[in-house]
Structure 1
């Protein structure tokens, strides 16, 4: 089969469409003919040589895909050859075929084509597992999302609004802030010009009940300042650095909680494993997508042979939502 390979760590130009060995489904796995995949920040980091795949995972880029079931591995139940699916992956999505643990497959939501479905598994599982399964987000709370115009941000806004939360976002341009407002954000802060701490403190909640943060160290102290009493800070990225000082005195005064999570390195099964998250997303979030309450936000669709251009788009920081790569 063909797949996008990384010739050497570097810029988007190092991505090449080349022949690689065909994958085979092992016990409990499903072989998927890939119709589309999507570009994630983790793919960009791996391309640069900074984010190797977990042990045993494919070294081909791609943390999600959509397509049709081509073959069932030993012991797989509940799926049939020809089923339209999308999948959460530890790697391997930038290819014509990929072997997926059956517990990480999701049906394509009603009303979506395969290209749109490819944009969902990574953001849906990230947002639902952190905000709902761990963070316990509920109606009436204030959620602050950093990077509101990105793939995770645009999805998280919609999920939070659907669950009755009020949403504040940060972004770096009026264009992105306007898109966030259109999706349901009530408070939109240009981080280049304004102070998000003041913006969320000047609310009935007196601060954010939950913060979804992709910046890490650069925002750590200010995020604690922005928390409401009993608030929670969820760190899912380190775009602003990995090392910072946490003021425990301020955190104790607010009875706050800080937790950091990664989806890619979770085990396939077990408590808080990928299969558990996928099952929850399928049961509780997929109906909101099927009825249009939550919709995929896709900035661009490109042929997979133009994966380098897709990565350049994400590198530009001008995208709103996801960049999808299509096959065929």
Structure 2
């Protein structure tokens, strides 16, 4: 089968495109004919070694896929050959990746693609939307009627957070570029603050005088001193980006107001958390409320270039690699 793979850690230049033996599913696995896979920043972290995880070389890159079931192990109920499916948790913790014509997926990490869903849109959303769901509900404990501040609201994860929070009945204050104001308002944001404003924190305070119940910074700046000060009593701050940041922790304002900080990486999510996120994502895909802002589909042979562009910050929206059989 054709695959995009590496034989050592390093820059995008280590990515190869060529033939590898097809994977062999175990009894609890499903063999999937891959149609498309997305390219994520975390894929670059794994490829470069910035995110340490067990790898077996040659290692197929990528974590997200959409495709069709080719074969089902005896211990993998619920799937049949021909089913349209998606997955967002390959390519780390000893699992081979998704950027190949075929992939093996454990049955408890595989989800049915809703009928009528656009496969390219689904794979583009698989990682950011699951991250958004976990941030809001598993770690942020969001409840209807609460106020959420979303920094980086125009990005892939941020826009999914705005959509999900608004649909859950929260009031959303979105911090984004001024050019994205109409877009994030269309997703359900109640207030929009231009991140280039001289006093972003002041604008958020004016919009939420009693403080925000949940603060999520998808941009990875992680100014905890400012963010904690914006929280309401018993407010929560969720950290999900900024691999190399080391902000100062304002201990006093945290414990005096029962505030809390929660960090998480989607790579540590268990199968129950991922399945709950998938149910939420499938519902929003079916209703049409969740959609990627922009996608660009490249052939699998251009995987190295896709990683290079992402590393250099030259991607707006999502890059998807198609098999083009």
Q: TM-score, normalised by structure 1?
A: 0.87
Is 1:224 matched up with 2:220? no
SS at match of 1:31: strand
The alpha carbon displacement at 1:129 in A equals 2.2
Give the whole-Å Cα distance in 1 for the aligned partners of 2:208 and 2:57.
46
Structure 1 pair 205–322 and aligned structure 2 pair: CA distance change class (3 A):
farther
The alpha carbon displacement at 1:242 in A equals 3.5
Residue 269 of structure 1 is matched in structure 2 by none
2:251 aligns with one of 248, 270, 279: 248
The alpha carbon displacement at 1:157 in A equals 1.2
Give the whole-Å Cα distance in 2 for the aligned partners of 1:307 and 1:56.
19
The alpha carbon displacement at 1:312 in A equals 4.0
The alpha carbon displacement at 1:205 in A equals 5.3
Contact 1:58 1:90 in 2 (8 A): no
Residue 268 of structure 2 is matched in structure 1 by 265
Q: In structure 2, list runs of 5 or more residues that go unmatched.
A: 92-96
SS at match of 1:45: helix
Contact 1:217 1:243 in 2 (8 A): no
Contact 2:238 2:262 in 1 (8 A): yes
Residue 294 of structure 1 is matched in structure 2 by 290
Contact 2:29 2:105 in 1 (8 A): yes
Contact 1:149 1:321 in 2 (8 A): no
2:277 aligns with one of 276, 281, 296: 281
Which sits farther off after the overlay, 147-156 or 176-185?
176-185
Give the whole-Å Cα distance in 1 for the aligned partners of 2:268 and 2:21.
24
Q: Deviations over 1:183-237 (max 9, x none)?
A: 2223333334433322221124532211223455742222112212211011111
1:75-224 map, 5 Å = 75-91=75-91, 92-171=97-176, 173-204=177-208, 206-214=210-218, 218-224=222-228
Give the whole-Å Cα distance in 2 for the aligned partners of 1:56 and 1:189.
45
Contact 1:144 1:212 in 2 (8 A): yes
SS at match of 2:268: coil
Is 1:325 matched up with 2:321? yes
Structure 1 pair 146–304 and aligned structure 2 pair: CA distance change class (3 A):
farther
The alpha carbon displacement at 1:128 in A equals 1.6
Contact 2:90 2:105 in 1 (8 A): no
Which sits farther off after the overlay, 191-200 or 34-43?
191-200
Q: In structure 1, list runs of 5 or more residues that go unmatched.
A: 267-272
Residue 72 of structure 2 is matched in structure 1 by 72
Structure 1 pair 10–284 and aligned structure 2 pair: CA distance change class (3 A):
closer
Which sits farther off after the overlay, 254-263 or 48-57?
48-57
Give the whole-Å Cα distance in 1 for the aligned partners of 2:259 and 2:195.
23
Give the whole-Å Cα distance in 2 for the aligned partners of 1:51 and 1:134.
21
SS at match of 2:49: coil
The alpha carbon displacement at 1:124 in A equals 2.7
Structure 1 pair 18–192 and aligned structure 2 pair: CA distance change class (3 A):
farther
The alpha carbon displacement at 1:34 in A equals 0.7
Give the whole-Å Cα distance in 2 for the aligned partners of 1:163 and 1:218.
25
Aligned alpha-carbon RMSD (Å): 2.5
Q: Deviations over 1:229-280 (max 9, x none)?
A: 21101111125x34232111011232111111112133xxxxxx22x12332
